[in-house]
Amino acid sequence: MSSCDFDHGLERRGTDSQKWQKYAGRDVLPLWVADMDFKSSPAILSALHARIDHGVFGYARPVPSTIEAVIHAFEHRYQWQIDPAWIVWLPGLVVALNVTAQAFAQPGDEVLTLGPVYGPFMSAPKNSDRTSVSVPWILSAGHWVIDWAALERAITPRTKLFYLCNPHNPLARVWRRDELRQLADFCLRHQLVLCADEIHGDLILEPSLPHIPIAALSPEIAARTITLMAPSKTYNVPGLGTSLAIIPDPTLRARFLRATAGIVAEVTCLGFTACEAAYRDSEPWRQALLAYLRGNRDYLLVAIAEELPGITVAAPVEATYLLWLDVSALGLSNPVAHFEQHGLGLSDGAMFGAARGSHVRLNFGCPRATLVEAIRRLRSALPAGLPPA
DSSP label of 264: S
Q: Tell me: do 188 and 253 sit in the same domain.
A: yes
Residues 26 and 59 both lie in one domain: no
* Residues 37 and 166 grouped into a single domain: no
In the chain, how many domains are there?
2
Pairing of strands 322-326, 359-363: antiparallel
CATH code where residue 129 lies: 3.40.640.10
Q: Do 150 and 193 reside in the same domain of the chain? A: yes
Q: With respect to residue 345, please indicate whether it lies within any of the assigned structural domains.
A: yes
Q: pLDDT per residue over 168-216, tens digit each?
A: 999 999 999 999 999 999 999 999 999 999 999 999 999 999 999 999 9
* Residue 8 domain-assigned (yes or no): no
Instruction: Write the single-letter amino acid at 277.
Output: A
User: Which of 244, 266, 281 delimits the end of a domain?
Assistant: 281
Assess if residue 95 is contained within a domain. yes
Q: Which amino acid is at 85?
A: A
106 phi and psi, to 5 degrees? -100, 160
For range 59-75, the mean pLDDT: 98
| Among 281, 304, 338, residue at a domain's last position | 281
Q: Which of 349, 381, 346 is nearest to 363 (CA)?
A: 346
Helix boundaries (H) for the chain: 18-21, 42-54, 64-78, 93-104, 120-127, 148-154, 177-189, 219-222, 232-235, 250-260, 269-281, 283-307, 335-341, 368-381
pLDDT tens for each residue of 336-347: 999 999 999 999
pLDDT band at 10 (very low <50, low <70, confident <90, very high): confident
pLDDT at 14: 87
Q: Does 10 reside within a domain?
A: no
Return the pLDDT at 318: 98
Residues 28 and 124 occupy one common structural domain: no
Residue 355 lies in a domain: yes
Give per-residue pLDDT as tens, 278-296: 999 999 999 999 999 999 9
Task: Please determine, for residue 54, whether its predicted confidence score (pLDDT) is greater than 50.
Answer: yes
Strands 131-136 and 359-363: unpaired
Q: Taking a C-beta distance cutoff of 8 angstroms, is the pair 144, 138 a contact?
A: yes
Per-residue model confidence as pLDDT tens digits over 19-34:
999 999 999 999 999 9
pLDDT at 366 over 50: yes
pLDDT at 1 exceeding the cut of 50:
no
Please say which residue of 259, 281, 303 terminates a domain: 281
252 lies in the same domain as 292? no
Domain boundaries, position 83 = 44-281
Amino acid at 307: E
Contact yes or no for 364/320 (Cβ under 8 A) = no
Q: What is the model's pLDDT at position 8? A: 86
Q: What is the CATH number of the domain that holds 346?
A: 3.90.1150.10
Q: What is the average pLDDT across 45-54?
A: 98
Q: What kind and span of H or E run contains 362?
A: strand 359-363
Q: What is the pLDDT of residue 2?
A: 42
Q: Tell me: pLDDT of 219 over 70.
A: yes
Strand 322-326 vs strand 243-246: parallel, antiparallel, or unpaired? unpaired
Q: What is the CA radius of gyration of the chain?
A: 21
Enter the pTM of the model. Answer: 0.96
Mean pLDDT of the chain: 96
85 and 177 in a common domain: yes
Q: Do residues 255 and 293 both lie within one domain?
A: no
- What CA–CA distances, in Å, run from 34 to 38, 224, 365? 12, 29, 8
Indicate whether 387 belongs to any domain. Answer: no
Q: 354 and 239: one domain?
A: no
Do 122 and 156 fall into the same domain? yes
User: How far, in Å, CA of 201 to CA of 181, rounded?
Assistant: 17
Kindly tell me if the per-residue pLDDT of 221 is higher than 50.
Answer: yes
Residues 37 and 50 in one domain: no
In terms of Cβ atoms closer than 10 Å to its own Cβ (0-12, 13-18, 19+), residue 49 is exposed
